[in-house]
Amino acid sequence: GKLELKRERVSLATVVDAAVETARPLLDRKSHRLVVSLPPVPPTLDADPLRLSQVLGNLLTNAAKYTDPGGNVTLRAEVVGDWLTLQVEDDGIGLAPDALPRLF
């Protein structure tokens, strides 16, 4: 009840562009290579574009923060049936497996 979602029809490409814009200064400062892979026809979502771009921007910023300079960050979107999967991957140091239950 603390956060009100403002859902609207929005293109995934628009959300991703906003997230990349947020993370771009840190990605550039650390000379990272960013690869964005979207479906050939990015889907239209019924979502809160601000919140969704904030989530993706935070994931991209964390990936950039914990990846050595010159590293690689990938944002991949895939549609399978009615489901959209978003994945952020980097070649940073990663998390210790025993830390995952405390974080997620």
Angle CA 59–61–63, to nearest 5: 70
Element (H, E) at 101: helix 100-103
Residues 36, 91: Cα–Cα separation, whole Å: 15
Estimate the crossing angle of helix 12-29 against helix 49-65, to 10 degrees. 30
Q: What is the model's pLDDT at position 14?
A: 97
Per-residue pLDDT band for 97 (boundaries 50, 70, 90) equals confident
* Residue 44, SS3 per DSSP: strand
Residues 37, 5: Cα–Cα separation, whole Å: 26
pTM for this entry: 0.89
**CB of 32 within 8 A of CB of 71?**
yes
Tokens of 52: 């969704």
Per-residue pLDDT band for 102 (boundaries 50, 70, 90) equals confident
What confidence tens digit (pLDDT) does each residue in 25-80 have?
999 999 999 999 999 999 999 999 999 999 999 999 999 999 999 999 999 999 99
